[in-house]
Structure 1
């Protein structure tokens, strides 16, 4: 024993940060057809890993809001509904994975082996977001409404889902 006290590092693991970053990149990739939407989402994708590593839930929420803003702009511009749903679903997964990584880092610390719990949590989040996306797409194809109205409803539904996941 060296006699030095152990220090606790509450920052998130690189696994949690990476999962959030990958989901954010999927958001950007699904919006490449609309420049303004993709640029907004890219700002979020760059900021997500920085915000998660900082351990700040507020900074992470702001970074994730750029992902949602990019999806909203792309939806209003008329991006394909499938691409829009993928963008919103992956933005939700990026937000949730980052929030979870911050929480796990705060509770267990960076030195703990958390990859299994973080991967399982993100897989569950992806499954829920995918199911909601499939239902939303089915509703979109079954209802003859203007795309702008549908985009607003889908974004509001995504924000509600995000809020519910945070509870």
Structure 2
């Protein structure tokens, strides 16, 4: 039996995808509010720390802070499209980062998991796009199209999406 150890740090592909989604979330937050963008950047920093350390706690807290940054723009009547895009991106940041940690723990960093990670990312992105479409449809059907109403529906959609992805 060999004494080789398996590197259990987060998988590279999902880690990269998480950071790509994070850049979309920060961009959406920046288009809505500079203060929201700062919060989103802080959240992304925490997610990045979580990805380096393999810490789910940092990933979850960082994703939540980034979500708050995106939603902060809703307080200043940001277009709902930015809020929907940013919210979906933050959920994907969290999901991809969790996937990176899971794959690293279960299979090891050196295992050939790129195809697995890309298929997971494609499925998660399809779910996020569908939920975003439903959320936007609800917004359009809502009376008056008020930003506060959109914010509430987006929060409900984000929680539902996160719950669906968690299973």
Is the TM-score greater than 0.5? Answer: yes
- Match 2:9 to one of 8, 11, 15: 11
- Which residue of 20, 29, 34 maps to 1:31? 29
1:139 maps to 138
Q: Report if aligned partners of 1:17, 1:53 keep a CA contact under 8 Å in 2.
A: no
Cα RMSD after superposing both structures = 1.5
Does structure 1 conserve the Cα–Cα contact (< 8 Å) formed by 2:25 and 2:90?
yes
Aligned to 1:66: 65
Equivalence for 1:154: 154
Q: Distance in 1 between matches of 2:152 and 2:70?
A: 11
Q: How does 1:6-155 map to 2 (within 5 A)?
A: 6-33=4-31, 34-145=33-144, 146-155=146-155
Counterpart secondary structure, 1:8: coil
Report the CA distance between 1:72 and its aligned residue: 1.6
Contact 2:91 2:162 in 1 (8 A): yes
Over residues 54-102 of structure 1, what are the superposed CA-to-partner deviations in whole Å (9 max), with x where a residue is unaligned? 1111111011111111122111221111111000011111110011111
Give me the whole-angstrom Cα distance separating, in 1, the residues matched to 2:165 and 2:118: 17
TM-score, length of structure 2 as denominator length: 0.92
What is the rounded CA distance, in whole Å, between the counterparts of 1:62 and 1:51 in structure 2?
9
| Stretch deviating more after TM superposition (84-93 or 36-45) | 36-45
Matches of 2:116 and 2:165 in 1, distance apart?
Answer: 17
- Any unmatched runs of 5+ in structure 2? none
Q: Which runs of 4+ in 1 moved over 3 A?
A: none
Q: Distance in 1 between matches of 2:139 and 2:149?
A: 10
Structure 1 unaligned runs (5+)? none
Equivalent position of 1:165 in the other structure:
165
